[in-house]
Structure 1
Amino acid sequence: MGLIQAAVGAIGGTLADQWKDFYTVPSGLAPTAALFSAVPQGQNAGRGSNTRGSDGVITNGSRILVPEGYGLILMQDGAITGFAAEAGAYEWNSEAQDSQSIFAGNGIVSPLITTSWERFKFGGRPGAQQRAYFVALKELPNNRFGTQSEIYWDDAYLNAQVGAITRGTYTLKISDPILFVKAFVPAKYLEPGQVFDFTDIDNDAASQLFNEVVGSLAPAFSMYTNDPAKGNRITKIQQDSVGFAQSLSAAVEQNYQWSSARGLEIAATAIIAIEYDENTRELLKNVQRADALSGARGNSNLQASVAAGFEAAGENAGAGGIFGMGMAAGTAGLGGLQQPVPGVGAQSAPQQAAPATAAPPAAPAEAAPAAEDPVAKLTQMKSMLDAGLITEDDYNAAKAKLLGL
């Protein structure tokens, strides 16, 4: 008793052309429409017109065409008597013994539908008059989210609490149509001519979903940025719409049980903008600097800095050339060598008065500091070249200077 499957995928085909009147989805529907009554239409190669039927009310012998991407739900006295998720042509007959009450297909997960069917199925024999509704099984786009002030979450990579204002969109999917209709859709949308649309600003149920998504953004961001599989990088969120959708869907499920209690899930997201607060922007700058000085790239940056220092010192002849860089009186220069400074040491000691007795022969003057050994210095410079701290050009310039070339 119930639905008889006449043909699968027969819409627009010969069978549909032969039916002069039937029920199907209304024309001109918005792509965000989720639930609406079946409407009578005439086919017969475009020449027929169904004027006998009433919106959403079928009787024995009524023919119904289910398009791709939609499911058919039949109800009596608020109870579900039939469900078809396969596109095709159906006929309703409450007396037929070979009819079925439920069909699964078109990507619907059978265990979900079966569980809801057993929970809400009609008790008894359905009557000859039923109400017919179509429910969207495809993704419903253009559901928006956004925050008016900063939301905050703990970030594992930055090791701090971060904050941002964000906005974007997500797509909804009705994963369990039976549960969705029975547990979430308000009764007024089960009247003829009503359309349940998630983007309708006058739809209080849709507004509730919006508020729950906004309330789940902070835990969703935290869940994403603290997941090692995502690289713990906050900046990857805008590049990973599917990954963030999974985090947001998990957050709304954890907080509000969208899937288990309402038959809904978030399929995809698109983050339009994230505006970090001042402290977070400063943290991100510090992370970028740290990244620039870590690993192989950090070694390259350090070598470039050292080479630039040698080049600047070589151009500053008044400061003693390349070997005067970083040296001062009493401090160590390159390789820890002491650079003697005139006027410092024994020669600067005050003169003592000569004794009354005859003075011994004057001691020879203290020898001048020995000239710097160019071989030792070139050896040191070669070691720095091999370590990658200076370039070949820096080494050749120093060698020419030491050798007077």
Structure 2
Amino acid sequence: MGIIDAAFDSIGGVFSDQWKDVITAGHFNEHTLVTPGVRRNSQNGRGGNYGAEDILSNGSIIYVPENTAAFVFSQAGIEQVITTPGGYEYRNGQATVFDEKDRAEGGLGRIFVQQAAERIGFGGMSPDSKRVAFVNLRELRGIRFGTHGPLAYNDLYYGADLEIYAYGMMSVRVCDPTLAIRNFVPANCSSYSLDDSRARHQLTGEFLTSFVAAANALSSTYRVSQLPSQTVALGEKIREGSDNAGTWPTRFGLELVSVAIENIEFSEQSRELVRQFSEKRMGVRAYEDVSQRAADISAQQLIAQGVRDNGLGDGGAMVFGMNLAGSLDPRNASVVGAASAAEGAQSKVEQDKPSIDSQVETLKKLKELLDAGILTQDEFDAKKRQVLGL
């Protein structure tokens, strides 16, 4: 009775699987790596192709969308890879009465009898097994990463190893679809996504290991606050690495395309270290600023004392008329310099008598020195009489 049932099943299966198929890619989302081929069973309400899902007839059409690679799998593994977009006629499948070449080679009766006889020995099933899957060749973006524990970053600006938490996104792309199918996608799997936690954990774990090494390679040049702007350099360092993410192209057929750092946070200990460093640095700068101002005031006081002790000499009027303020700069002048300038101007006083405008200007300068406390009232009155020739 079982043989009779198998015979009927064989004949029914042969008739059902005679239809040629139209196959294209299934749905892709942002993180889909592999999606199964989808057989078109109907079109605008017409069609009745309900043959076995793992049987491909000769003359079937495989449509390959852009940025995908089609894989035809047989019992032994990868049978054919199609990487160029377009429609392709499949010729390594089961003979069908609807294919002109098969009819010419075997004839209608021979096709049915041979296939039915073959299936009876397998309980009504066909020993053939063919399936189609599509690999996504687009950039797979928005793969988030984040450190579960602090990473050590040797920041030369602070002169210490800082503990940081880094968060961001990366993107990868299939660079060798055959290698990706053989080494990254699980065996006998025609649907695989990087949303799968096991796949994501493998990639992000290796990426973070490479990220730490690449970040510290840049620490001699960039401060930790500059890392978000150095994502291109980080990506290059990771790809150049000899392990972890740097080996993806040769191990998994995947390559790292880009890295985006959204946020870097200090651990509590490192945040306190940076705060103390900033406070001390601000204190040093404030001390240096106060010290410079104190030095300037001290120099001015010395100059004022020198003027009081030595006076301005007989050429005082001309000295003030020739920009005394510049000669009395506490950073480049002294009492001796001022006295030398006064002596050098004596000959000029003897040659030319000051004009009224020059006398007025000199008196203004004298008044400013009086108001500043550099000249006493008696000294001011004496110089005033001298300038006016009284």
Under TM normalisation by the shorter chain, which class is it?
0.5 to 0.7
Could you tell me which residue of structure 1 aligns to residue 265 of structure 2? Answer: 275
**What is the DSSP-based 3-state SS (H/G/I as helix, E as strand, rest coil) of the residue aligned with 2:87?**
strand
Could you tell me which residue of structure 1 aligns to residue 238 of structure 2? Answer: 248
Could you tell me which residue of structure 2 aligns to residue 148 of structure 1? Answer: 148
1:198, CA displacement in angstroms?
0.6
1:199 to 183, 195, 210: 195
Relative to 1, partners in 2 of residues 1:285 and 1:90: Cα closer, same or farther, differing over 3 Å? farther
Matches within 5 A, 1:7-46: 21-27=21-27, 29-42=28-41, 46=44
Structure with higher helix content:
2
Relative to 1, partners in 2 of residues 1:289 and 1:32: Cα closer, same or farther, differing over 3 Å? farther
1:243, CA displacement in angstroms?
3.3
Could you tell me which residue of structure 2 aligns to residue 84 of structure 1? Answer: 82
Say whether residues 1:71 and 2:72 are aligned partners: no
Q: In structure 2, what is the Cα distance between the partners aligned to 1:205 and 1:272?
A: 22
> For residues 16-53 of structure 1, what are the alpha-carbon distances to aligned partners after superposition, in whole Å with 9 as ceiling and x for unaligned?
xxx995101124x3221101221102575x44446335
1:199 aligned partner, one-letter code = D
Q: In structure 2, what is the Cα distance between the partners aligned to 1:240 and 1:264?
A: 22
Q: In structure 1, what is the Cα distance between the partners aligned to 2:172 and 2:26?
A: 21
Q: In structure 1, what is the Cα distance between the partners aligned to 2:46 and 2:367?
A: 101
Q: In structure 1, what is the Cα distance between the partners aligned to 2:275 and 2:51?
A: 64
Could you tell me which residue of structure 2 aligns to residue 60 of structure 1? Answer: 58
Calculate the TM-score normalised by the size of structure 2. Answer: 0.58
Q: In structure 2, what is the Cα distance between the partners aligned to 1:252 and 1:140?
A: 23
Relative to 1, partners in 2 of residues 1:206 and 1:31: Cα closer, same or farther, differing over 3 Å? same
> For residues 315-345 of structure 1, what are the alpha-carbon distances to aligned partners after superposition, in whole Å with 9 as ceiling and x for unaligned?
xxxxxxxxx9532xxxxx25976948xxxxx
Q: Let me know the Cα RMSD of the aligned residues.
A: 4.5
1:186, CA displacement in angstroms?
1.1
**What is the DSSP-based 3-state SS (H/G/I as helix, E as strand, rest coil) of the residue aligned with 2:237?**
helix
Could you tell me which residue of structure 2 aligns to residue 402 of structure 1? Answer: 369
**What is the DSSP-based 3-state SS (H/G/I as helix, E as strand, rest coil) of the residue aligned with 1:59?**
coil
Say whether residues 1:185 and 2:152 are aligned partners: no
1:200 aligned partner, one-letter code = D
1:224, CA displacement in angstroms?
3.6
Calculate the TM-score normalised by the size of structure 1. Answer: 0.56
Could you tell me which residue of structure 1 aligns to residue 206 of structure 2? Answer: 212
Q: In structure 1, what is the Cα distance between the partners aligned to 2:224 and 2:365?
A: 47
Asked if the contact 1:40/1:54 (under 8 Å) is kept, the reply is no
Question: Number of residues paired by the alignment?
Answer: 281
1:261 to 247, 251, 275: 251
1:149, CA displacement in angstroms?
2.0
2:368 aligned partner, one-letter code = K
Q: In structure 1, what is the Cα distance between the partners aligned to 2:184 and 2:71?
A: 15
1:93 to 91, 94, 105: 91
**What is the DSSP-based 3-state SS (H/G/I as helix, E as strand, rest coil) of the residue aligned with 1:187?**
coil
**What is the DSSP-based 3-state SS (H/G/I as helix, E as strand, rest coil) of the residue aligned with 1:206?**
helix
Asked if the contact 1:168/1:272 (under 8 Å) is kept, the reply is yes
Task: Choose 1 or 2 for highest CA Rg.
Answer: 2
Q: In structure 1, what is the Cα distance between the partners aligned to 2:52 and 2:41?
A: 13
2:250 aligned partner, one-letter code = S
Relative to 1, partners in 2 of residues 1:326 and 1:263: Cα closer, same or farther, differing over 3 Å? same
2:309 aligned partner, one-letter code = P
Asked if the contact 2:141/2:170 (under 8 Å) is kept, the reply is yes
1:189, CA displacement in angstroms?
1.9
Q: In structure 2, what is the Cα distance between the partners aligned to 1:339 and 1:56?
A: 107
2:325 to 352, 375, 378: 378
Asked if the contact 1:70/1:85 (under 8 Å) is kept, the reply is yes
Could you tell me which residue of structure 2 aligns to residue 5 of structure 1? Answer: none
Could you tell me which residue of structure 1 aligns to residue 115 of structure 2? Answer: none
Matches within 5 A, 1:154-193: 154-155=154-155, 159-190=159-190
Relative to 1, partners in 2 of residues 1:188 and 1:93: Cα closer, same or farther, differing over 3 Å? closer
Q: Structure 1: which 5+ residue stretches go unaligned?
A: 1-18, 96-126, 314-323, 328-332, 341-367, 387-396
Asked if the contact 1:34/1:135 (under 8 Å) is kept, the reply is yes
1:326 to 289, 297, 307: 297
1:37 aligned partner, one-letter code = P
2:182 aligned partner, one-letter code = K
Q: In structure 1, what is the Cα distance between the partners aligned to 2:47 and 2:232?
A: 45
1:135, CA displacement in angstroms?
0.2
Relative to 1, partners in 2 of residues 1:289 and 1:263: Cα closer, same or farther, differing over 3 Å? farther
Could you tell me which residue of structure 2 aligns to residue 359 of structure 1? Answer: none
1:93, CA displacement in angstroms?
0.6
Q: In structure 2, what is the Cα distance between the partners aligned to 1:285 and 1:55?
A: 69
1:155, CA displacement in angstroms?
4.0
Relative to 1, partners in 2 of residues 1:74 and 1:399: Cα closer, same or farther, differing over 3 Å? farther
**What is the DSSP-based 3-state SS (H/G/I as helix, E as strand, rest coil) of the residue aligned with 2:310?**
coil
Could you tell me which residue of structure 2 aligns to residue 345 of structure 1? Answer: none
Relative to 1, partners in 2 of residues 1:150 and 1:94: Cα closer, same or farther, differing over 3 Å? same
**What is the DSSP-based 3-state SS (H/G/I as helix, E as strand, rest coil) of the residue aligned with 2:189?**
helix
Matches within 5 A, 1:340-359: none
